[in-house]
């Protein structure tokens, strides 16, 4: 379907971008590495004149799925599937400071002369004018994973990686170095690799409705909002934001199943892995 071409699947490019590639299949090369580069972020949505609302959109949890079409002559080398933890890490540093205060005391002596000519000696301790202090700092560092990845399979048997934030409320950045860490190896199953069209696979990013973080919803134009609300039947601003997300993704040929349900499935991005 022409409408589903990759260059149109950019409805929420600031929320998630996805790129996938592998070496070309040849008569000499029947097994290649599949690389998937996925970046998560926050999008500012609703800048169009006709949009009744604007909001910020992020993803709290998602899955990256490798789709092997049923009729494509290609399979996965199970021993090659990446099941390890991502290497991209950050450092969390906490500085603990402890201060110690001390006072300086000195001995002060004085002599008192009586009228009789006798001398008396008086001595004692007195606090010096200035206190001094010292402090020490303990720096504690630990390694944290920016995005946690857990490998499993979908109910259809496709390999997937579940993405969860390691130290924030939403997904930010890359879960892995795509160039150094391929997801798996593809095996060309054609009996004669010199003939026919080479097999293709897709990589998708999916989530559930409850995994979307829709924040800072604003009504752009009160009159436009009333018009749209009355025409379409929106009950509140969140419903309008959900409708906007559904319409934009559907226009791009991406699948949205019941966005009003917290468990409704949404495909945020899809691309065909390109031979390089």
The full set of domain ranges for the chain reads 2-88+146-275, 95-139
CA dist., res. 148 & res. 154, Å (int): 18
160: which residues sit within 8 A by CB, 6+ positions away?
Answer: 63, 64, 65, 66, 151, 152, 153, 154
Distance CA 31, CA 19 (A): 20
Q: What's the pTM value of the predicted model, to 2 decimals?
A: 0.73
Distance CA 236, CA 154 (A): 34
Residue reference for tokens 């390089």: 276
Query: How confident is the model at residue 51, as a pLDDT?
Result: 78
Run of H or E including 255: none
The predicted-structure confidence for 55-114, as pLDDT tens digits, reads as follows 999 999 999 999 999 899 999 999 999 986 555 556 666 677 766 665 555 544 445 444
- Tens of pLDDT, residue by residue over 235-273, are 677 877 888 888 888 888 888 888 889 999 999 999 999
Pick the closest to residue 186 from 269, 69, 63, 268 (CA basis): 69
pLDDT category at 44 given cuts 50, 70, 90 is very high
Tell me the torsion sign for CA atoms 202, 10, 154, 81.
positive
Overall residue count recorded for the chain in this entry: 276
Tokens linked to 204: 């998708």
pLDDT tens per residue, range 98-155: 666 655 555 444 454 444 455 545 455 555 555 555 666 766 666 667 899 999 999 9
């Amino acid at each position: 379907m022409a409408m589903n071409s990759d260059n149109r699947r950019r409805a929420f490019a600031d929320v998630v971008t996805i790129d996938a590639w592998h070496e070309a299949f040849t008569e000499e090369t029947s097994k290649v590495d599949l690389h998937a580069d996925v970046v998560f972020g926050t999008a500012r949505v609703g800048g169009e004149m006709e949009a009744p609302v604007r909001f910020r959109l992020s993803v709290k949890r998602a899955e990256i799925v490798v789709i092997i079409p049923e009729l494509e002559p290609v399979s996965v080398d199970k021993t090659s599937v990446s099941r390890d933890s991502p290497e991209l890490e950050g450092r969390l540093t906490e500085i603990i400071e402890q201060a110690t205060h001390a006072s300086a005391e000195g001995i002060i002596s004085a002599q008192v002369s009586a009228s009789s000519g006798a001398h008396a000696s008086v001595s004692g301790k007195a606090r010096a004018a200035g206190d001094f202090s010292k402090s020490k700092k303990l720096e504690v560092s630990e390694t944290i994973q920016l995005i946690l990845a857990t490998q499993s399979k979908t109910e259809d048997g496709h390999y997937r990686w579940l993405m969860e934030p390691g130290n924030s409320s939403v997904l930010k950045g890359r879960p892995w170095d795509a160039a150094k860490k391929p997801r798996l190896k593809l095996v060309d199953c054609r009996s004669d690799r010199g003939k026919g069209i080479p097999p293709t696979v897709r990589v998708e990013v999916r989530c559930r409705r409850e995994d979307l973080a829709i924040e800072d919803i604003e009504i752009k134009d009160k009159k436009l909002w009333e018009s749209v609300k009355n025409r379409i039947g929106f009950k509140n601003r969140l419903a309008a934001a959900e409708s906007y997300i559904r319409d934009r993704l559907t226009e791009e040929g991406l699948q949205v199943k019941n966005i009003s349900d917290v468990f409704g499935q949404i495909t945020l991005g899809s691309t065909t892995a390109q031979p390089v």
